[in-house]
Structure 1
Amino acid sequence: MVGLVPPYNSDDDRSEGDDMTELYETEALIIRELEQQGPCTLDALAYRFPACTWNQIFIAVDALSREGTISLQPRAGCQYLVSLASVHAHTLHHFDPDRRVAETRQHTGRSYGR
C-alpha cells in the first residue's frame, strides 16, 4: 500500500469558521421551521431540508437542545419529537451567531466541536 494517496476532498480546505457558519445557518433554519410549522419528528425535520445532510441536522439539533432552545421528547419506534423549548421553562435568546462563537471560545478556548 505504499504510494497510495487519498483522493482529494475539497472539504479538507474548509476552515473551522466555515464549519461554525454552516452550523449556525442550519440552527437558524431549524428554529425558523419550528416557529412556522410547529413540532415534528427528527426524521421529518431532516426530510424538510434536502440541502442539509442528516448529520448536519443532528449536530444542530444536539447543539440547540444542549443550550435549551429546543426540546426533544422520545416517541415510539426510536423517534424523537423536536419542538421549541417552552418560554416558561427557558428564556429564548434571539439567534446571534457572534454570541455563540464568543461563548464557545470563552469556555473552551477554541471553536465548537474541535
Structure 2
Amino acid sequence: MDRSYQLEAAIYRHVSRVSECSFEELVGWLPQYAWNEVFGTVDRLSRQGRLTLRHPTRFGFLISLPPGARDAASLPRDGRGGESLAVCRAAS
C-alpha cells in the first residue's frame, strides 16, 4: 500500500471513530505523517466530497464524513480495485 492511501485510510478510521474532529486533533492522532501531508490529503478529500469541513471559528476547522458516508458501501474504493476505505476502517 502506498503512503497516500495509508494516510487516507487512517484519516477515515479516525474521523469515523470520533464522528467529528479538529484539524489539530487529526494531526495529533497521525504523528507519523507531516502536517503538510495531512493538510494536503484533507484538502483533496474535501474537494472530492469525501470529507466535510466546517469552519466554526476564525482559525479552526472541524472535519467529518459527509452524510451517508458512515455506511460502508458509500465510501469510495481505493482506485486500484482494492478494498474500500470503509472495509479497512472496519478491519482495524
Q: Where on the TM-score scale, by shorter chain, does this alignment land: which range?
A: 0.7 to 0.9
> TM-score w.r.t. structure 1 length?
0.60
Alignment RMSD (CA, Å): 2.1
Q: Is 1:38 matched with 2:19?
A: yes
In the TM superposition, structure 1's runs of 4+ consecutive aligned residues that sit over 6 Å from their partners are none
- Post-superposition offset of 1:87: 1.4
Q: For the residues of structure 1 that align with 2:61 and 2:24, how far apart are their CA atoms?
A: 8
1:92 alignment partner in structure 2: 74
> TM-score w.r.t. structure 2 length?
0.73
Q: Secondary structure at the match of 2:64?
A: strand
Q: Secondary structure at the match of 2:74?
A: coil
- Post-superposition offset of 1:81: 0.4
Aligned length: 78
Identity %: 28
Q: Which has the higher contact order (CA 8 A, sep 6+)?
A: 2
For structure 2, the residue ranges without an aligned partner over 5 or more in a row are: 82-92
Q: Is 1:81 matched with 2:58?
A: no
